Structure 1
Amino acid sequence: MRVGHSLILVLVVFSSYGKSFNYTSCDQAKQPKFLSSCCDVQNHDKAIKACRKSLFSNNSSSTSNRESPNLKSERVALHACIAECSFKTNGFLLANGSINEEVLQKSYQQRYKNDPIMSQLMVNSLKRCTDYALKRAQQSQWMHTKGECNYHPAILLACIMEQVYVNCPATKWKNTSDCTAMRKYLIACDDVESNRK
């Protein structure tokens, strides 16, 4: 999974709409269908909704600030800021900008305490993505301008969600042609494994 694909997946995870999937190649593939329509994953984070509302409110009142991105038009920046805000709110982001993996893992275990398969899948996905997300966040720092949010949480979240959907349990998977195409895209474009070797 390349950095650009990580951020596209964040857009998909946080968005509430979907388009029909058109699988061509990693570099040419269109935005995948909204992922939760393929894998029934309980993902009701109140912090995300609160952060989105707060960011839009704050961004509207500071549109004259040239250093802040226009979050209404810059969707990648918006979702990076939502992820950062959510991670801060939930205690997953330390003051130095690094991820508190232990707290994040405990949160996943608590959220899915009645579903041991999903709990284990979330924890395994976190473990697989930790080093990858840190490396990608460091590699993509040059893309960010002053005033933008920390992209590390967004890249980590996108990677985790991608791993969850690639490995979605059969009982939660909606086996449609769009979902099958999306899964092929995720597997074909996944370089998390190749970066671990």
Structure 2
Amino acid sequence: SANTTGNAEEIYKCITDCTAKELGLVKNNAVDKDAFKQLLVKTLGKEADFKPVVEKAFEDCHQKMSKIPEHELLKPATCGFAPYYLMNCVESEIFKNCPASKWTDSADCSELKGKINNGCPFMAIVKDEAK
């Protein structure tokens, strides 16, 4: 149901927000762009093939996020939206732009890529796949 989905999204939002704060990626309720990017490049971009993909994904997503009106980012909620938005966007972009050398050409991977290209949030797809 929609209510369950909303609760699940809020849980993922809270986990991402809490983790980002613990890692020092959020300061004064704002994303620390440099710290966030450094961590993503160090973790998701540690393989040479992925580093440029991660860097571009982060820059593109951060720019998209900066165009969201502040009142939308700060809607009344129990947890911050920005870290969740950035992670969801970055993971989607990485998946869509996976280097050919790392892509697994299977029906499942192609189906997931199609869902992401159609606008499904990465987090929703991952949750569905984990059931």
Common fold by TM > 0.5: yes
Matches of 1:154 and 1:114 in 2, distance apart? 21
* Counterpart pick for 1:85 among 4, 10, 18: 18
For 1:115, the equivalent position in structure 2 comes to: 47
* CA drift at 1:81: 0.6
Q: 1:189 Cα shift?
A: 2.6
CA contact (8 A) 1:121 1:164 kept: yes
TM-score, normalization by structure 1 = 0.51
Which portions of structure 1, spanning 4 or more consecutive aligned residues, are displaced by more than 3 angstroms? 134-142
Give 1:186's match in structure 2, choosing from 109, 116, 128.
Answer: 116
- How far residue 123 of structure 1 moved from its aligned partner, in angstroms, is 1.2
Percentage of identical aligned residues: 17
**Could you say what the CA RMSD is over the residues aligned between the two structures, in angstroms?**
2.6
Structure 1 gaps, min length 5 = 1-72, 191-197
- The 5 Å alignment of 1:155-166 reads 155-166=85-96
**Equivalence for 1:168:** 98
The structure with the greater share of residues assigned to helix is 2
Look up the equivalent residue of 1:79 and give its one-letter code. Y
**1:107 and 1:151 mapped to 2: Cα distance?**
19
Query: What is the CA–CA distance in structure 2 between the aligned matches of 1:132 and 1:159, rounded to whole Å?
Result: 9
Instruction: Report if the CA contact (8 A) 1:137-1:155 is conserved.
Output: no
Which stretch shows the higher mean deviation, 116-125 or 129-138?
A: 129-138
TM-score by length of 2: 0.74
Gaps of 5+ in 2: 1-5, 121-131
Map 1:115-134 → 2, pairs under 5 A: 115-134=47-66
